[in-house]
Structure 1
């Protein structure tokens, strides 16, 4: 992709994020974005259909960045280092993830993150489960919901405990599941 196109898209997205923090999604207009980014309104429409498309692309970008970080820093195990890596990344990028998780009307980010976590858990269960007493569906949704709930609580409460504490507590809570799922 042309560097000018990348630069323009990044400028639009950064402006959108700034406005999202200031005004909330419902009050943002394409005119606001264009004016703040110092570009023509038509330029925004060259890159994004509307503000909903921009929101979708923004969510995809930040979900992909989180996944990319996790893929590069952990192996395929559900262990302390995998969880710690996720929370360290979220700590470094706290502002944007807090915005995406807490802003009204942006359940899309949570839904997308949930789907990815559920898919990952399903893959791990399918590959590594030795205990047939676990129902893959129930286990998947229990673990994904629990993880997302803890992640939201931690972000929305401005990280009330440090990365090591949250990781240790999660591993303690998940121990009954992880010993059956990742003991190989």
Structure 2
């Protein structure tokens, strides 16, 4: 992709995020974005259909960045190093993820993140369908909901404990459960 296009899209997205933090999604207009970015409204429309499209692209971008970070981590299992890597990344990028997780009208980010984590959990735990003791759906959604809940609590409360503490606590909570999964 042409560097000018990349720079313009990044300018629009950064401006959108600044306005999102200031005004909330409902009050943002394309005119606000164009004026703040010092570009024409037509330029915004050249890259994005409307503010909902811009929100979708923003969500996809930041979910992808988090996923790429996780994929580049050496460990992709339900392990301390995997959790620690996720929380370190979130700590480094705290402002943007707090905005996307807590801003009114942006529940789409949480929903998209939930879907991706649920898919990953399903792949990682790999419960055998012939085992009647556990249901893939129940197990996947239990682990995903718990992880998302902890992640939201940690972000929305401005990281009340450090990365090591949250990792240790998660592993303590998951230890009996992961042992059962391994034995399946």
TM-score of the two chains, using structure 2 as the length reference: 0.95
Q: Is the 8 A contact 1:101 1:152 kept in 2?
A: yes
Instruction: Report the 3-state secondary structure (helix = DSSP H, G, I; strand = E; otherwise coil) of the residue aligned with 1:132.
Output: coil
TM-aligned CA distance change 1:118 to 1:5, over 3 Å: same
Q: Residues 92-111 of structure 1, C-alpha deviation per residue, up to 9 Å, x if partnerless?
A: 00000000000001110000
Structure 2: how far apart are the matches of 1:130 and 1:86?
32
Computed over aligned residues only, the root mean square deviation of the Cα atoms, in angstroms, reads: 1.7
Q: Is the 8 A contact 2:127 2:136 kept in 1?
A: no
Q: Residues 13-52 of structure 1, C-alpha deviation per residue, up to 9 Å, x if partnerless?
A: 0000000001100110000000111111000000000000
Q: Is the 8 A contact 1:125 1:181 kept in 2?
A: yes
Q: Give 1:74 deviation, angstroms.
A: 3.1
TM-aligned CA distance change 1:128 to 1:90, over 3 Å: farther
Structure 2: how far apart are the matches of 1:183 and 1:94?
36
Instruction: Report the 3-state secondary structure (helix = DSSP H, G, I; strand = E; otherwise coil) of the residue aligned with 1:128.
Output: coil
Q: For residue 35 of structure 1, what is the aligned residue in structure 2? A: 35
Q: Residues 67-91 of structure 1, C-alpha deviation per residue, up to 9 Å, x if partnerless?
A: 0001101323110000000000000
TM-aligned CA distance change 1:131 to 1:178, over 3 Å: farther
Q: Which runs of 5+ in 2 are unaligned?
A: none
Q: Is the 8 A contact 1:70 1:86 kept in 2?
A: yes
TM-aligned CA distance change 1:32 to 1:175, over 3 Å: same
Aligned residues: 184
Q: Which runs of 5+ in 1 are unaligned?
A: none
Moved more, 74-83 or 154-163: 74-83
Structure 1: how far apart are the matches of 2:97 and 2:116?
16
